[in-house]
Amino acid sequence: MSPLTPEEIQKCFESSRDFNEIFDAFEQALARKIEDVGLYRTLFWNHSLTPDEICLFGEKVARAFPPLAYETYLWLARVFETTYSMFDNFKLAVEYYAKAAAVRPSEQDPYIRAADCYDADLNIPAVDTLIDFLRLGEDLVDDPQPLHQRLAYLYSVTGDHEKSEYYRRRAGEGSPPSPP
């Protein structure tokens, strides 16, 4: 395949339905060291790609360009939350929110977005998974109050009113004072 311009790579990511053509354009983007998260976002939204193919591309971007890993994982989570949630019950979305949190543990966004995926009517994603994830983040984020609010809600859904009330109080108080 002849070398593609960044514009041609973008067009391929937007409109091609041929995996081999998309893969070749992707390899050229990596070889040219194009660190434009917007370009890869276009790729992730290509509806001809399967979840496994999107994961393949996303993981390669995160490895090739570590400074883009956080944004890449967040974007993958959003794609899976929006596009594939009906098929995998938000598992991939939560998985990629967790990967984003692993890259930047003090950022609230991955924890909040994962919790906001919860559908009480369908009980997906698994509430226990979300609670564990938020509890992991509560000691890592700068301001845990939004996580406490979501934990209060998730515990109320499970029927654990004691823990729900505990987190409701913590959410109202903000962060406890540091010991002297």
CATH of residue 60's domain is: 1.25.40
Summarised one tens digit per residue, pLDDT across range 65-105 is 999 999 999 999 999 998 876 667 789 999 999 999 999 99
Q: What mean pLDDT is reported for the chain?
A: 92
Examine residue 125 and say whether the peptide bond preceding it is cis (omega within 30 degrees of 0). Answer: yes
176 has pLDDT over 60:
no
Tell whether 180 is covered by a domain.
Answer: no
- Distances from the Cα of 46 to the Cα of 11, 12, 14, 83, 131, angstroms: 11, 10, 6, 11, 32
Number of domains observed in the structure of the chain: 1
pLDDT of residue 14: 96
Expressed as residue numbers, the domain containing 47 is 6-173
Flag whether the pTM goes above 0.85.
yes
